[in-house]
Structure 1
Amino acid sequence: MPARAFALTLLLAASLPAAAIDSQLSVNMNVHATSFLAPGAGEQRFTPTLDLRDDPRLSQMQRMHEIASYAGGHGIGRFEGHVGLLRAFASGSFPYCCDLAGRRVNYGYAGASVQGQFYDSIVVGGAGLAAGTPVSYTVNFSISGHLSRPSFESGGFLSAWGVAEVRLRDMSSFAEVNKSWDASRDAAAIYSLTLDTFVGRTIALSGMLAVGASVSDYAMLARYVEADFGHSAGYQLIPSVAGLNTVGASGYDFATPVPEPGAGLLMLAGLAALVGRRQLRPCLPRPSSKSGASSAPPTANGATARP
């Protein structure tokens, strides 16, 4: 799937699943390096997926890692996570289109898109409270990461983006609190949202993290770009009454503290930097003909929570 089409489907795919599914973790990746220059036109592309539903592995760390290399271009994508914790990294590098004489020696693009999302259901009960007792849950959503600079160039020849989401819903009343986060406008922080519910009901918690990076031969500002959210998107539940259930159908305990923003190791930082250095060189004057590939992030919307 082309990077633009993949990106535009991310938020649509992040909606809550059917009630028949109690817990789920899914991952989609698109990692590619493509050349259009004859006679060596071609590409290397990987589109692995993961879809675990009501599976014991949902609370265990899942890892996916792909590197695509073709015609001097490199795309890197990586995902690590489980229910309650998502990490993602994407990068792209590609040589400049032309040599010192202005002859086209490269024509293509490279990059990656990585999306992870989870869903889990939690039965409201415990603490010795009778069914129907009003209670509340606060979800702490921690997000941290960075986009390389510059992260965007007019025409889509160079782009990096990162979006995330959290939703907490009462499955009886369908009352919901949610937060959509966009790296282009929002700060790395811990965001707190509170949902009122009652003992005896079921609440559903879902989260999504998606990142992307793309660069073409025609980019003028840089030869390498990355979206590094290996620092994590973490999700924690705090009940209004101590002893209320925080364990989901997956077996994961959402009372686990979320990572502090900025904490954790950069994923593939050394490898990404090495690839970037190998591709860096001064940009040459813009040739008269235009080429390149565009990549755009999905639009994060619907935020109703406050930081």
Structure 2
Amino acid sequence: MENNLFLTTFLENNANYYHVSRRKPEFADQIQHQKDYYEVCFVLKGQLRHRHNREQYVLSSGDCFIIPPGFQHAVEAMEENTMCFWLMFQGALFFPGYYHSNIQKMLGSLSMENCYDSERAQMKINFPQMEQNQICHLFDCLIYECDSVSERSNNSLILIASIINTVARNYFNNPIMANELCRINEYDAIMPDCLRYIDENYMKPLTISFMAKHFAVSASYFSVIFPKVAGAPFKQYLNRKRINAAVALCADQALPFHKIAELCGYADTSTFYRNFIKYMGVSPSSFRTQLQNASNES
């Protein structure tokens, strides 16, 4: 059974980025699988076995797990009366408004390349009794809200954020994850410097590996956190910066396009042309002609 792997891509209410339910573990949960969204399971009563490859953890009432997209695992009930709350959600649900929160820091930690380690993915999270009661109440309210409201409401988003924030707080209570939180906070503090460096050095051959080494951060975490700060993946942000510079240089009629490409950080003209058309909708030569015509008309 360990070798049986299927990819679950169904997400009910996918336009709203989440789905919540209260149910027993089903047969499909018992098969080693992965999903393309985050998954939270809180054990309401009974026990379940949570497996990842050859490792397994027993979760009892009041325990929880959270796993990232792409994490292979299996879940099975150990008692007939086992009942769980389940919350599946897309990371986009918490962007950009929750960027500096523990929620985003936990999602960033889970999404790093080495998160596919059971220690990091938090196969089992323990909750204090007071927070067990709190999260049960939040889940009950969220299910009621989703059943009674046809469209996504602010109330639902507030409840989901409260649930995930509670999970994040206990996730980082683990000593290993507490150290991770310190490292994430250090990374977040240097991200403005990273953006400033790109803005001033876009004409150089910049890569994620170079940026990570230059600022002494993990390349995997840099690639995860950068879009949350810049609003776009690293390569897209860099290309947009280069093309914006190229647009300004096109006004100089005496400057050949291969020189513009070079000044903007493109090693070959074909890549420059391709990206210029992608972002501007026209070729560099057509854009220059438009500038010249507009200048003549004025």
TM-score range, shorter chain: under 0.3
Higher gyration radius (CA): 2
Higher strand share: 1
| More helix by percentage | 2
Task: Give me the TM-score of the superposition, normalised by structure 2.
Answer: 0.23
Work out which structure has the larger RCO, using CA pairs closer than 8 Å and 6 or more positions apart in sequence.
1
TM-score normalized by the length of structure 1: 0.22
